[in-house]
Homo-oligomer: A and B are copies of this chain.
């Protein structure tokens, strides 16, 4: 059986819950299509997130990698098309804040996702789950781990599908926040990621 490395993040900023973490915990060790899910939760720190991801990759030697992250404010499941070579944005969980900084000094401007993102979106829509391809994973930790995973695989010429999927907030998270943000049930979020995983190459 093939192995899928599925990652989520711990809570960050003023989000007290991170549904990406809950989805990974729900799907960990499940068999989905040809894959067994190996779940890992990443810190939200520029100095650590990708290091933990790449160490886990080397230990697990997965056949595919999907990283998940919360995109508070989005109202659809959004597989990301591209990761760019840039760190920027709010301070991370360790208080580090960077601006306009390359992720890899020698790296290209961007990598395209090698996940079947169009097939994932089409299948989600067939199942009445709102989804669309996103053209920006931002410049925070989500983009960072996506870029670093693809950079690692590219440098080693490894033909392992990898990429990132952003998810809306969960109802539980949205109900706790003062400002209004779109939200989904955790069940639907988890079912959506299950559906996306089914589209990985067998």
Contacts and interface: CB of A to CB of B under 8 A. Distances in A.
Interface of A is mostly: loop
Interface range on chain A (Cβ under 8 Å from partner): 35 or more
A110 B183 CA distance: 32
Q: How many copies of this chain?
A: 4
A135 B138 contact: yes
Given A84-B110, A111-B109, A75 B181 contact: yes
A197 interface: no
A171 B130 contact: yes
Contact of A172 (B82, B100, B128): B128
A125 interface: yes
Given A88-B133, A100-B118, 15 more contacts: A75-B183, A81-B86, A81-B139, A82-B110, A84-B135, A85-B112, A99-B118, A108-B108, A109-B110, A109-B112, A128-B172, A130-B183, A135-B136, A136-B136, A185-B187
25 contacts: A75-B174, A75-B181, A75-B182, A75-B183, A76-B174, A76-B180, A81-B139, A82-B109, A84-B112, A84-B135, A86-B112, A86-B135, A108-B108, A109-B109, A109-B110, A128-B171, A128-B175, A129-B171, A130-B174, A130-B180, A132-B180, A135-B139, A136-B136, A182-B182, A187-B187
